[in-house]
Structure 1
Amino acid sequence: MSCILHIETSTKVCSVAVSQDGACIYSKEDFEGPSHAVVLGVYVDEALSFINSHAIPLDAVAVSCGPGSYTGLRIGVSMAKGISYALNIPLLGIPTLEVMCVPILLHKELPDDALLCPMIDARRMEVYATIYDRALRVQRPISADIIDEHSYAEFLERHPVYFFGNGATKCQEKLTHPNAHFIDNIHPLAKWMFPLAEKAMAREEFKDVAYFEPFYLKEFVASKPKKLL
């Protein structure tokens, strides 16, 4: 086991946490965002001060690596890479959609054949989504899905599917199959990264600080400013 600093900035929620031997010893969350460029540095400074005041050696830094907000991911990954380089500690990249599944698996009773579909809003009727079983084995790879009445039909015909995340709410009117279940108020938070980061640490799945980039899934497209009248 180890002490790990966790950073999550993939959505408008900004969160930082520290785990020691898998248990939470520090956690800070801001749901008012997006203000990651301001808030993240403050939270990280507080977390590092907490660690230092308790004379706890920091063994690694973990960052939620996407998909999600282009700007949010860039800010979080840049911060994590800087800490990794400055302190000469390993960098761990944790898939955001896996992070979202952790509170479901910890706190919800699910049927044995249940499937999990975390969704991140990608604007309009598009979401970033994947499908896992209860062991977090991928049943369908991550993709940018445009949701209609037929989305995920092959899974809904055979399994109860649980949809959650900030992209799921807008899909409820489209996904009306009896096997479609929706869970509210699930966010990717730093504290949900703990078990995934511990596994990555044990397997030494370290990222190359020089070359590691967020998993954006889609290229960033800047919108054109409206013409002034």
Structure 2
Amino acid sequence: MALILSIDTSTKVCSVALHQDGKILACSELYTEKSHSGMLTTLCENIVNHSGFSLNQLDAIAVAKGPGSYTGLRIGVSTAKGFCFALDKPLISVNTLEAMIMQISDFFPENYLFCPMIDARRMEVYCSIWDKKHHNILETEAKIIDEYSFLDLLNTQPIVFFGDGAEKCREAISHKNAIFLDNTVHPSAKTIGILATKSFEESLFENVVSFEPFYLKDFVGTQPKKV
């Protein structure tokens, strides 16, 4: 019976969950900016203890590998690796975007495609396209959105666009087969844990020492002002 602690800090949401054999036992999420570094470890320890387990009873630690916020991913992966080293447990990584489609795919017909979008900057988003059976149609990329984006696919079937990067793309993607959700779907450890359970069963583990987040593009910091 796999007991897996999952972490997702890809965006401003700090999310942790505990799954046993793919079934969720507990989840805690903070929607407060910059809560990751101060609260993540405490959230992890609390949901494990409140579920009646100890950290030593965990079978694996799972983390959303990205894409997403550079700082958020660093904090999430560093925390996950810290638990793995301290507890001598394997590390599982999950694509943030793939996990997002699990939150909505059951509400749509089989022929629909899903395009989760995480806000990057201006008209750029981190995105990919998947079908309902989790077949990857378009690889994860940092994409600048315009009226021609995804046109070939939109001409053949409906695509659901969602995530915190989708709203700013609504006017650019005006095709009749483009569907935008009214509510924002944030990445969540609740679905990270489901995919992590499948990886655990197949022994798909990361090298704890060398694993790095999936940043997708180089970090660009703020230039210091000249005085």
The match for 1:89 is 89
Instruction: State the 1:25 CA deviation.
Output: 1.5
Residue 9 (structure 2) pairs with residue 9 (structure 1) = yes
Instruction: State the 1:26 CA deviation.
Output: 1.6
Instruction: State the 1:190 CA deviation.
Output: 0.6
Q: Distance in 2 between matches of 1:79 and 1:148?
A: 37
Q: Distance in 2 between matches of 1:157 and 1:6?
A: 37
Instruction: State the 1:205 CA deviation.
Output: 0.5
Q: Which moved more, 1:208-217 or 1:141-150?
A: 141-150
SS of equivalent residue, structure 2 residue 205: coil
For structure 2, the 5+ residue unaligned runs are none
Residue 33 (structure 2) pairs with residue 40 (structure 1) = no
List, as ranges, runs of 4+ consecutive aligned residues in structure 1 with deviation greater than 4 Å.
none
Letter of the structure 2 residue corresponding to residue 98 of structure 1? E
Percent of paired sites with the same residue: 48
Letter of the structure 1 residue corresponding to residue 68 of structure 2? G
Q: Distance in 2 between matches of 1:34 and 1:174?
A: 30
Q: Distance in 1 between matches of 2:74 and 2:180?
A: 29
Q: Distance in 2 between matches of 1:135 and 1:213?
A: 27
1:127 is aligned, of 107, 125, 134, to 125
Instruction: State the 1:42 CA deviation.
Output: 1.7
User: Are the structure 2 counterparts of residues 202 and 145 from structure 1 closer, same or farther at C-alpha, using a change threshold of 3 Å?
Assistant: same
Residue 186 (structure 2) pairs with residue 187 (structure 1) = yes
SS of equivalent residue, structure 2 residue 207: coil
For structure 1, the 5+ residue unaligned runs are none
Q: Distance in 2 between matches of 1:200 and 1:119?
A: 24
* Two-structure CA RMSD over aligned residues (Å): 1.4
Q: Distance in 1 between matches of 2:180 and 2:137?
A: 19
Q: Distance in 2 between matches of 1:40 and 1:54?
A: 18
Task: Give the structure-1-normalised TM-score.
Answer: 0.94
Q: Retained in 1: the 8 A contact 2:4–2:59?
A: yes
SS of equivalent residue, structure 1 residue 103: coil
Letter of the structure 2 residue corresponding to residue 76 of structure 1? G
Render the CA deviation track for 1:22-51: whole Å, top value 9, x for unaligned. 222121100122321112122122134335
Q: Distance in 1 between matches of 2:203 and 2:14?
A: 26
The match for 1:217 is 216
Residue 100 (structure 2) pairs with residue 100 (structure 1) = yes
Instruction: State the 1:162 CA deviation.
Output: 0.4
Letter of the structure 2 residue corresponding to residue 113 of structure 1? N
Residue 151 (structure 2) pairs with residue 153 (structure 1) = yes
Render the CA deviation track for 1:45-81: whole Å, top value 9, x for unaligned. 2134335x44682100000000000000000000000
Task: Give the structure-2-normalised TM-score.
Answer: 0.95
The match for 1:77 is 77
Letter of the structure 2 residue corresponding to residue 157 of structure 1? N
SS of equivalent residue, structure 1 residue 85: helix
Instruction: State the 1:113 CA deviation.
Output: 1.5
Render the CA deviation track for 1:108-147: whole Å, top value 9, x for unaligned. 1x22211110111011000011111111111111111101
SS of equivalent residue, structure 1 residue 181: strand
SS of equivalent residue, structure 2 residue 121: coil
Instruction: State the 1:227 CA deviation.
Output: 4.0
